[in-house]
Structure 1
Amino acid sequence: MMDVARTAGVSPSTVSLYLRRPEAVSPAAGQEIAQAIEALGYVPNLVAGGLAAAGSRVVSVIVPSIRNAFFAETVAAMQTELARDGLQVMLGHSEYSDTDEEALIRTALAWAPAAIVLTGLEHSKGARKLLAAGGTPVVEMWELGEQAPIDMAVGFSHTAVGATAARHFAQQGKRHFAFLGARLAQDRRAAARAEGFVAEARRLGLPEPPVLNHPAPATAEAGAQLLGRVQASLPGLEAVACSNDLIALGVLFECQRRGIAVPADLAVIGFGDLSFSSTSNPPLTTIRPSGDLIGREVARLIHACVHGTRPPPGACIVDTGHLLVERKSG
């Protein structure tokens, strides 16, 4: 850092400020520092910086699956916003395991992170104990429910998402429908969508929809297999809600193979509004969770904590809602 300061003709404290908050340095000084860093190949020692500040510029983000496009969108939006504060994302992947999540939390706390971001509201007792003792700001994302968050939360009700799908089918005059999901025992948010779907059908006085579960991760292949299973067990099936758009895509493919007209013979609704959803055949009706908005709101809360302007308790829970996107599949 001393070499960068000499080359740029500024003080070491100005270089330090630039590395933490580039916008706080004048454009002219920032340009000189950036050129010096590039010329010297300087890489900041984050461990040394963390020791000096009793904390690091790292935000630990733990997601259940790096294969899931929902979380990729959220992390990308979060990283863009956090970078404005000079914060870097350290990503962990728990594969829907509470034990693995707890181990990742323990590792993250060893780095004295600026904040920890978790997915969902359900965590092991050990994880909660670690977080309570650590004093690090915690944001739980992608879920809101009756359970109070550990610290802060950004997300929406998955039960309400399921209810929206059931109401949509009922408004179309459908009576016999089912919910198709994957790894529902591990993916508690998908299970909550299934529960909301069944409960709303029951409230509307409709036959209780069966819930079919595939034990492997959600894929188009899983969706095709689930459709075969539900058709064999439920004559008169009129509509299916899927735990995500990949499952729904597999259902659409299988309908084409079986000569099932969508939506005339079978209405299909997904969840996620993934990139292919608007261009599938037919375009997929789905429910959009606004993953990018979740990422930006998480970053906003972390920004407030880092700068000592933590929101009051009532403003630490942000409901990003969900949106039904009606297309041609149902």
Structure 2
Amino acid sequence: MTGRVTMRDVARVVGKSPMTVSRALRGDTTVSAKTRALVRECADEMGYVYDSTAQVFRTQKSGFVAVTVPSINNANFAETFRGLSDGLEGTGMQLLLGSTNYSVDKELEIVRQMLARNPEAIVLTGGYHLPQTRGLLEKTQIPVIEIWDLATDPLGHVVGFSNAEAMSKIVNELAQNGRRKLAFIGASAGSDMRGSARRDSVIAAAHALGLPEVRFIDAGAAPVSMRHGAQAVKDLGQAVNGFDALVCVSDPVAFGALNECRRLGISVPQDIAITGFGNFDVATVSSPRITTVNVHANEIGRKVAGVLADIFAGQADAQRIDVGSTLVRGETV
């Protein structure tokens, strides 16, 4: 066969009507599983790719949900995306992912591009957006779900956790173990809204307990990683001994700080405590294991899938779901 393969070509080979082939390729369950498998196998062998453009025009449904994340390298955001993907398994709905690189300006650009493709819903990581972004989304009829943060002025649905609650658990754990002089290692102010919320939450929790003022250690522009945590401690040198604990914006940053303390001959937790955030694998496999907070990243994704199911079933009421957080005691406090 020469030229572009058409749906009619596939229909002729499998002995079915073009309409049946179309429904089979869309995953329509009114077509038997056996026929769907046969059509898919034949289409793959013939090199036919289903063009959904006509369906979009006809039904005004694109069949995909748009999702923004700050970084595709962050294991927690990847876990949330995995939970969402798993939760949508079998629905026929696909995900279109955009990475904002922690920039609200980039988020605006991505949202504009995504809206042009008529997604059936849009999932935004974070609760802070530029006024232009909010304006665009408020004018559309597309459902919006904000995740991770518990937005105080939501655009629609919210699935996340309280940074204040999560960080207060860390600060209380430190205080109960006699740690009073705290330093927070995180990204530069303004480059990571979630990190800034954690820093503010640590400061508020320490103040509530009557602890001394928390020192902020700028690890650089977001995203910050193991390397940044190590460099922050290296820059402090022996001055790090002036603190009882280093509260880190994430587990990778804590892991970097932990290893640099070792290089400086500073024992953890004997000389200083170190805490992380996020319950990354690195917190579990490090030696000593890092005390951290589990914010249930995968569950966030699965809860979002549940909200989407409700939206597509016609339930319009905005949902606000707090997945909570859990203190994970390691060996660094």
TM over 0.5: yes
Report the Cα distance in structure 2 between the residues aligned to 1:175 and 1:99, rounded to whole angstroms: 38
Counterpart of 1:200, as a letter, is A
Bigger drift between 19-28 and 39-48 goes to 19-28
The 5 Å alignment of 1:281-292 reads 281-292=287-298
Alignment pair present for 1:323 and 2:326: yes
Report the Cα distance in structure 2 between the residues aligned to 1:189 and 1:285, rounded to whole angstroms: 19
SS of the residue corresponding to residue 282 of structure 2 reads: coil
Once the 2 structures are TM-superposed, how far is the Cα of residue 46 of structure 1 from its aligned partner?
Answer: 2.9
Query: 8 Å contact 2:66–2:114 — kept in the other structure?
Result: yes
Match of 1:84 in 2: 90
Match of 1:75 in 2: 81
Counterpart of 2:132, as a letter, is G
Change (3 A) 1:263 1:52: same
Query: 8 Å contact 2:275–2:332 — kept in the other structure?
Result: yes
Report the Cα distance in structure 2 between the residues aligned to 1:123 and 1:299, rounded to whole angstroms: 22
Alignment pair present for 1:57 and 2:63: yes
Match of 1:181 in 2: 186
Query: 8 Å contact 1:55–1:111 — kept in the other structure?
Result: no
Within the candidate set 147, 161, 169, 2:174 is matched to 169
Query: 8 Å contact 1:64–1:93 — kept in the other structure?
Result: yes
Report the Cα distance in structure 2 between the residues aligned to 1:24 and 1:231, rounded to whole angstroms: 68
Deviations 1:104-126 (A, max 9, x none): 11111111111111111111111
List runs of 5+ in structure 2 lacking aligned partners. Answer: 1-6
Deviations 1:167-189 (A, max 9, x none): 11011121112111123422111
Q: CA RMSD in A?
A: 2.1
Report the Cα distance in structure 1 between the residues aligned to 2:242 and 2:22, rounded to whole angstroms: 68
Match of 2:110 in 1: 104
Report the Cα distance in structure 2 between the residues aligned to 1:9 and 1:302, rounded to whole angstroms: 37
Report the Cα distance in structure 2 between the residues aligned to 1:4 and 1:77, rounded to whole angstroms: 35
Report the Cα distance in structure 1 between the residues aligned to 2:154 and 2:133, rounded to whole angstroms: 13
Deviations 1:57-102 (A, max 9, x none): 1211111222222211211222233342212221112222222211
Report the Cα distance in structure 2 between the residues aligned to 1:269 and 1:116, rounded to whole angstroms: 34
Match of 1:197 in 2: 202
Once the 2 structures are TM-superposed, how far is the Cα of residue 326 of structure 1 from its aligned partner?
Answer: 1.0
Query: 8 Å contact 1:183–1:218 — kept in the other structure?
Result: no
Within the candidate set 309, 315, 319, 2:314 is matched to 309
Bigger drift between 70-79 and 151-160 goes to 70-79
Once the 2 structures are TM-superposed, how far is the Cα of residue 230 of structure 1 from its aligned partner?
Answer: 4.9
Report the Cα distance in structure 2 between the residues aligned to 1:169 and 1:292, rounded to whole angstroms: 27
Report the Cα distance in structure 1 between the residues aligned to 2:308 and 2:12, rounded to whole angstroms: 33
Query: 8 Å contact 1:81–1:299 — kept in the other structure?
Result: yes
Alignment pair present for 1:298 and 2:304: yes
Match of 2:269 in 1: 263
SS of the residue corresponding to residue 140 of structure 1 reads: strand
Match of 1:148 in 2: 153
Once the 2 structures are TM-superposed, how far is the Cα of residue 275 of structure 1 from its aligned partner?
Answer: 2.0
SS of the residue corresponding to residue 96 of structure 1 reads: coil
The 5 Å alignment of 1:189-268 reads 189-216=194-221, 217-230=223-236, 235-268=241-274
Query: 8 Å contact 2:233–2:240 — kept in the other structure?
Result: no
Match of 2:4 in 1: none
Query: 8 Å contact 2:238–2:264 — kept in the other structure?
Result: no
Bigger drift between 24-33 and 260-269 goes to 24-33
Counterpart of 1:35, as a letter, is E
Deviations 1:157-204 (A, max 9, x none): 112222111011011121112111123422111111111111111111
Once the 2 structures are TM-superposed, how far is the Cα of residue 9 of structure 1 from its aligned partner?
Answer: 4.2
Counterpart of 2:214, as a letter, is P
Within the candidate set 145, 148, 158, 2:163 is matched to 158
Change (3 A) 1:56 1:271: same
Report the Cα distance in structure 2 between the residues aligned to 1:261 and 1:9, rounded to whole angstroms: 73
Report the Cα distance in structure 2 between the residues aligned to 1:81 and 1:41, rounded to whole angstroms: 30
Report the Cα distance in structure 2 between the residues aligned to 1:233 and 1:311, rounded to whole angstroms: 55
Counterpart of 2:320, as a letter, is I
Once the 2 structures are TM-superposed, how far is the Cα of residue 254 of structure 1 from its aligned partner?
Answer: 0.6
